[in-house]
């Protein structure tokens, strides 16, 4: 993921990144950073840039969830790993530490993908919640 000119490795998939804020009930907020109606990043093929060493990399580009086009404030929200609601209430404390890890193409080589991820959209409303219909036997 690229935000505020830095590439990070998230600890889970983009839509699973969880808010770090502690709620009034003293548990971690279960909302996701990528909330409904929030601006989305764009999967982009970007150059793999090694920050150290001269090792040849097996690929030139990698798929990055790019947030660079988002407003600064929104990128800050992502980096502080807060859901939209808690970003609006700065007084709420954080229960967990944002778990971004600066991306290193050599150490994190297994996360370098040269193709954009295929969109896995769920089928229309109502279809996803039911078990697949079985054929009569
Ligand atoms: Zn939250």
Ligand 1: distance of its center to the CA of 79 in Å? 13
More confident site: 16 or 122: 16
Please tell me the distance from the alpha carbon of residue 54 to that of residue 109, in angstroms, as a whole number.
Answer: 15
Mean of all residue pLDDT scores within the chain: 84
How many angstroms separate the CA atoms of 48 and 96, rounded? 30
Q: What is the C-alpha to C-alpha distance for residues 8 and 14, in angstroms, rounded to an integer? A: 11
pLDDT attached to residue 135: 53
CA 115, CA 61: separation in Å to the nearest integer?
8
Percent of the chain with pLDDT over 70: 79
Q: Which residues surround ligand 1, an ion (CB under 5 A)?
A: 19, 21, 29, 31, 83, 86
Q: What is the pLDDT of residues 48-82, one digit of tens each?
A: 875 555 555 555 889 999 999 999 999 999 999 99
Q: What mean pLDDT is predicted for residues 34-47?
A: 91
> Structure tokens of 26?
């003293």
How many angstroms does the Cα of residue 73 sit away from the middle of ligand 1?
Answer: 16
- Judged against a pLDDT cut of 80, whether residue 133 lies above it is answered with no
Measured in Å, residue 76 CA sits from the centre of ligand 1 at 14
Distances in Å between the alpha carbon of 20 and those of 16, 112, 123, 137? 12, 26, 30, 49
Burial of residue 41, with CB atoms counted within 10 A of its CB: 0-12 exposed, 13-18 middle, 19 or more buried: buried
Contact between 46 and 61 under an 8 Å Cβ cutoff? The reply is yes
Distance of CA 121 to the CA centre of its chain: 17
Tell how far the Cα of 36 is from the centroid of ligand 1, in angstroms. Answer: 13
The per-residue pLDDT for range 80-95, each reduced to its tens digit, is 999 999 998 878 888 8
The alpha carbon of 24 and the centre of ligand 1 are apart by a number of angstroms equal to 11
Q: Which of 101, 40, 48 is nearest to 69 (CA)?
A: 40
């Amino acid at each position: 993921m690229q935000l505020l000119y830095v590439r990070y490795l998230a600890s889970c998939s983009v839509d699973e990144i969880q808010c770090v804020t502690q709620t009034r009930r003293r548990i971690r907020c279960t909302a996701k950073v990528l909330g409904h109606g929030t601006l989305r990043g764009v999967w982009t093929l970007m150059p793999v840039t090694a920050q150290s060493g001269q090792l040849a990399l097996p690929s030139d580009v990698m798929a990055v969830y790019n947030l660079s086009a988002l407003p600064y404030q929104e990128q800050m929200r992502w980096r502080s790993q807060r859901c939209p609601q808690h970003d609006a209430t700065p007084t709420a404390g954080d229960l967990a530490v944002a778990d971004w890890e600066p991306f290193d193409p050599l150490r994190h080589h297994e996360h370098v993908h040269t193709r954009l991820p295929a969109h896995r959209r769920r089928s229309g409303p109502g279809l996803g919640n039911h078990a697949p219909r079985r054929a009569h036997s």
